[in-house]
């Protein structure tokens, strides 16, 4: 893996997820995914790959999915168990302590109806292999949500917020950048990089969103009122759905299906 502190300092990461920036990332990504989920979840299975403290897993369990939360950090899983218990979602979530590279050993092909892979690929040495493994365990009509760090977002963040124009120039072609929370290297992706990776794994993109289009270029300090957060959320949601704004977001979110299923969806009346 690249940066490892995220997995070793789970408490610090969990605290970050409670900040306005952390809440925006997880809640925007969930909102974007939600409209692609099947209405009847009672007989469906979901896999949260690198699910960390379990935000997406808890949401899926509340809908009725049987969820497997897989993460390589026992500390993350411990927090996820606590949060699932607090949300009365424990009975529908199983917790698997393993690396994503073990997916083919852990699960049979065509095992899951929904797979979430948020903020994991940028920490892997070989992200394509994990994407290929994810495709292997997806059912034919399954939906996958991938969220990764956007190169353009890192360029603008360095240029606008930090006024570090030398770093911004370097980020135009850098393979990795220093993570703002832990200072360790994480991989960058351009939208075409992740689209190509999904296509090679036999997956077709059915939706693309930018996550945190402008809030990373502000200096959001402390808590926001619920009204202010809602206004920020709604604007970010609207901008993230428009390609001209999504292109400069801090994160890219792609929703994908198996290529045959995505083609049927795109051509359906």
Is beta strand 251-258 parallel, antiparallel or unpaired with respect to 138-149?
A: antiparallel
Give the angle 45-238-35 at the CA atoms, nearest 5°: 20
Cβ-based burial of 193 (10 A; exposed 0-12, middle 13-18, buried ≥19): middle
Question: Is residue 149 within a helix (H) or strand (E), and if so which, with residue range?
Answer: strand 138-149
Average pLDDT of span 210-230 = 88
Quick: pLDDT tens for 113-154. 999 999 999 999 999 999 999 999 999 999 999 999 999 999
Q: Which helix or strand (DSSP H or E) is residue 55 part of?
A: helix 55-63
Structure confidence at residue 8 (pLDDT): 64
Average pLDDT over residues 37-66: 94
The token pair that represents 196 in the structure block: 């190509």
What pTM, to 2 d.p., does this model score?
A: 0.91
Task: Provide the number of structural domains found in the chain.
Answer: 1
pLDDT of 78 > 90? The answer is yes
Name the residue range of residue 73's domain.
5-267
Question: What confidence score (pLDDT) does residue 224 get?
Answer: 87
Tell me the pLDDT tens digit for each residue of 181-213.
777 889 999 999 999 999 999 999 999 999 999
pLDDT at 204: 97
- In this prediction, residue 3 carries a pLDDT of 52
Give which of 158, 159, 134, 150 is closest to 251, Cα–Cα: 150
Average pLDDT of the residues in 10-39: 92
Count of C-beta atoms within a 10 Å radius of residue 116: 28
- Determine the pLDDT at residue 181: 78
Q: Provide the CATH number for the domain around residue 107.
A: 3.40.50.150
What does the pLDDT average to over 71-77?
95
């Amino acid at each position: 893996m690249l940066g490892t502190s995220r997995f070793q300092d789970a408490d610090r990461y969990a605290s970050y997820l409670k900040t306005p920036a952390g809440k925006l990332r997880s809640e925007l990504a969930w909102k974007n995914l939600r409209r692609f989920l099947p209405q009847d979840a009672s007989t469906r299975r979901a896999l949260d790959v690198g699910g960390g403290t379990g935000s997406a897993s808890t949401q899926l369990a509340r809908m009725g999915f049987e969820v497997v939360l897989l993460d390589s950090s026992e500390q993350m899983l411990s927090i996820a168990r606590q949060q699932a218990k607090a949300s009365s979602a424990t009975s529908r979530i199983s917790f698997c302590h393993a690396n994503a590279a073990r997916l083919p050993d852990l699960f049979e092909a065509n095992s899951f109806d929904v797979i979430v892979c948020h903020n994991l690929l940028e920490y892997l040495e070989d992200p394509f292999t994990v994407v290929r493994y994810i495709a292997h365990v997806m059912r034919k009509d399954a939906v996958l949500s991938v969220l990764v760090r956007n190169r353009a977002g890192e360029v603008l963040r360095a240029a606008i917020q930090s006024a570090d124009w030398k770093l911004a120039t370097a980020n135009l072609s850098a393979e990795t950048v220093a993570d703002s929370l832990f200072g360790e290297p994480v991989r960058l992706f351009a939208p075409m990089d992740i689209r190509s990776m999904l296509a090679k794994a036999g997956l077709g993109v059915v939706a693309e969103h930018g996550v945190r289009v402008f809030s990373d270029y502000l200096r959001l300090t402390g808590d926001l009122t619920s009204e202010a957060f809602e206004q920020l959320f709604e604007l970010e949601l609207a901008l993230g759905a428009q390609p001209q704004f999504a292109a400069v977001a801090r994160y890219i979110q792609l929703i994908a299906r198996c290529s045959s299923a995505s083609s049927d969806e795109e051509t359906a009346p």
